Structures are given as C-alpha cells and as structure tokens.
Amino acid sequence: MKKTSLSKQAQLNAIADELRHHSTCPLRKTATQPVAGEGNPNAKIVFIGEAPGKNEDLSGRPFIGQAGKVLDELLASVNLKRKDVFITSIEKFRPPNNRVPTPKEIMACFPYLERQIAIIQPKIIVTLGRYALQRMLEWESGEKVSPPPMADYHGKKIPSKKGYIYLPLYHPAAALYNRKLLAVMKDDFLAVIR
Ligand code: URA
C-alpha cells in the first residue's frame, strides 16, 4: 500500500487533538479547552506567548483578547497578517485566574510545542515576554535559567544551536499597562522582518 505522509496542517491538527484528549497537564481539568495555536503551517516566524487567558480559553484561539489586539497592531506595523505566521504559547491551557503556570504544567505541555516547532521548521522563534524566553533559553541550553531581564534582551536576535533564531520581545500585554512601551515594541518588531 502506498504510504501517504500527512500534511503539516494535518500533523498540527493531530497535536491539537492529542492535547484535547490526552494531555497530562494538570490544567486540563480546570481549563475549558486547550489553545494549541494557529496560523500558517509553513510559517517562517513562530510567536510563542506564555499561556492562554480567559478569552483564549473560551474560544480555543491564541491571543484574541486585549493583548491579541496589540499583537495584531504590531503585526500590521510590519505588514504581516496572522495567516503569515504561527501563534502559540508555552502553556497550552489557561491557568486559573491567569496565574503563572508552574514548571510541572509547563513541562507537561512543552513536548507539544517542540513537535509544533519540528513540523513548522520556522526561521525565527519570537518569544513574547520573559517566561517564554526563559523556557526557550532552558530548552536551548538544557539547563535551568532564571527569568531573564527583558530590558537586556528585547529586540536582540539570539542564534540557536538548533538552527533557529530567537527574537525576544516584550509581551504585548505590557503595552496595555505602559503605552510608552508600544513605540519600543514597534521598533523591536522591525527585527521580525529584517
Ligand atoms: N497571553 C499569552 O501569552 N497567550 C495568549 O494566547 C493570550 C495572552
């Protein structure tokens, strides 16, 4: 029988399905549903946030609340649309009251993110906020890393032994608390397309 290989989208759909039905993440019990991520399976740029919030939990889609509006504005500032990129997060289930996910919760979800990255094979991995950056630096080095100071890292590309380039950015939600940061973020965002 001829062996057919699944399309990238089908493989990503299978991951979303596994998350929904088989994830061992403790947050699966309290969340409405997983937020696996969405976008272009052939994207050159993958955005990784921290964890879904309330709107994402209810809809199953990443970054659709207020922080998502900021992300859309940033994407538009460099002429990108959501369909050009892939958007996901480190933790795939909403933590109660949007608390920071625990290491156990993160590690239960991380293999799914690794598989998503392996399927998409992006050139650039944009981390949104310090927790996403922390986890990806740990993945890169194989060692524990403390939450990195974003003031030192934002907007500066970091080469990866794994063949990607990391671009750490402030989390879009930061612009909701500090409007002045939006200009910095727009400036940093130029590095996404350069
Ligand atoms: N923050 C995230 O990190 N991810 C979302 O999907 C929404 C807010």
- What spacing in Å lies between the alpha carbon of 93 and ligand 1's midpoint? 10
Closest CA to 106 of 21, 26, 192: 26
In this structure, which residue's CA is closest to atom 7 in ligand 1?
63
The tens digit of pLDDT for each residue in 10-58 reads 999 999 999 999 999 999 999 999 999 999 999 999 999 999 999 999 9
Which 3-state string (H, E, C) describes the chain?
A: CCCCCCCHHHHHHHHHHHHHHHCCCHHHHCCCCCCCCEECCCCCEEEEECCCCHHHHHHCCCCCCHHHHHHHHHHHHCCCCHHHCEEEECCCCCCHHHCCCCHHHHHHHHHHHHHHHHHHCCCEEEEECHHHHHHHHHHHHCCCCCCCCHHHHCCCCEECCCCCEEEEECCCCHHHHCCCHHHHHHHHHHHHHC
The tens digit of pLDDT for each residue in 142-168 reads 999 999 999 999 999 999 999 999 999
Q: Which atom of ligand 1 is nearest to the CA of 50?
A: 3
CA separation for the pair 165, 161 (Å, rounded): 9
Average pLDDT, the chain: 96
When pLDDT is cut at 50, 70 and 90, the band that residue 5 belongs to is confident
- What spacing in Å lies between the alpha carbon of 96 and ligand 1's midpoint? 14
| Residue of 56, 126, 171 with the most ligand 1 atoms within 8 Å of its CB, for mutation | 56
The tens digit of pLDDT for each residue in 135-146 reads 999 999 999 999
The tens digit of pLDDT for each residue in 169-194 reads 999 999 999 999 999 999 999 999 98
User: Which residues contact ligand 1 via a Cβ below 6 A?
Assistant: 35, 49-53, 56, 62-63, 67, 89, 128
Q: Which atom of ligand 1 is nearest to the CA of 49?
A: 3
Q: Which atom of ligand 1 is nearest to the CA of 35?
A: 6
